[in-house]
Amino acid sequence: MAQPAEPVSRRSRPSKDPLSRQAIVGAAQSLIRERGVDAVALRHVAERVETGPASLYAYFGSRDILLEHVLGAVYAEVELVDAGGGERGWREALAGTVGNTIETLGRYPGLGAVALGSIPTLPGALRLAEHELSLMEAGGVPEERAALAVDLLAQFAASSAVERGVRRDRPHDDVERRRVRTAYEAADADLFPRVARAAALLTGPDDRSRRDFALQAIITGIQGTRRP
């Protein structure tokens, strides 16, 4: 998406910094970190940059457009992991980059849902996609498969960030985990013998273990799956 021209700030008072897209996006990021996406309206952002909501429309036509720019700025914060030598190098770098994407999105509650509902086209997202494509190219992944994989990895990162947010809102996650394990162990052994037998295995792994397993499964599939 081409960046539109920056509107000229009409502020003349020296006590205020000039209004700009960067300042507005930065204020929105700060508010989202504090309150989450759902609790942030344009009027809150306007208050943070000391202007009226109508002034923001000169820079962003809607809240959705502003959130798209916030998402691009957050993607630009993701630490990219470079590949080392050997076959495992690009795989570990790709897994590390996606893991960092999840961690970065997770610092902004609710932004994962924004990512799931959009197709980012701003430089921050393109930087991330370019890096992932370069890693897969180094691993010999065909271009068509790598293109599909970029979308899959973005979905995985966003949905994982959403899940993290849900779990963060549950202060007694260990209690819930024990409750689920107890329910699995008590399942009718005639109808669900494998669930009952594997109750500890199904509920034991922590979030990091589950994430790492899923990433390795996805990347192995990227290497070996032919496009239908």
Domain boundaries of the chain, sorted by first residue: 21-61, 87-224
**Per-residue pLDDT, 164:** 83
Pick from 56-60, 130-134, 164-168 the range whose average pLDDT is largest: 130-134
Q: Is 16 or 77 the better-scoring residue by pLDDT?
A: 77
Lowest mean pLDDT among 4-8, 22-26, 210-214: 4-8
Angle between the N-to-C axes of helices 123-138 and 143-168, in degrees from 0 to 180, rounded to the nearest 10: 120
Q: Using the predicted structure, report yes or no on whether residue 170 has a pLDDT greater than 70.
A: no
Average pLDDT on 7-26 reads 73
**Per-residue pLDDT, 165:** 78
Torsion angle of the four alpha carbons 44, 69, 170, 179, in this order, in degrees rounded to the nearest 10: 150
Average pLDDT on 2-13 reads 56
Mean pLDDT for all residues in the chain? 88
pLDDT tens per residue, range 79-137 = 999 987 655 699 999 999 999 999 999 999 999 999 998 888 999 999 999 999 999 99
CATH topology of domain 87-224: Tetracycline Repressor; domain 2 (1.10.357)
Q: Is 140 or 223 the better-scoring residue by pLDDT?
A: 140
Q: Is 7 or 125 the better-scoring residue by pLDDT?
A: 125
**Per-residue pLDDT, 105:** 96
Q: Using the predicted structure, report yes or no on whether residue 184 has a pLDDT greater than 70.
A: yes
**Per-residue pLDDT, 131:** 97
**Per-residue pLDDT, 2:** 54
CATH topology of domain 21-61: Arc Repressor Mutant, subunit A (1.10.10)
Q: With helix as H, strand as E and coil as C, how does the chain read? A: CCCCCCCCCCCCCCCCCCCCHHHHHHHHHHHHHHHCHHHCCHHHHHHHCCCCHHHHCCCCCCHHHHHHHHHHHHHCCCCCCCCCCCHHHHHHHHHHHHHHHHHHHHCCCCHHHHHHCCCCCCHHHHHHHHHHHHHHHHCCCCHHHHHHHHHHHHHHHHHHHHHHHHHHCCCCHHHHHHHHHHHHHCCCCCCCHHHHHCHHHHHCCCHHHHHHHHHHHHHHHHHHCCCC
**Per-residue pLDDT, 176:** 83
pLDDT tens per residue, range 186-228 = 999 999 999 999 999 999 888 889 999 999 999 999 987 555 4
Of the candidates 41, 11, 7, 2, the residue with the CA atom closest to the CA atom of residue 21: 7
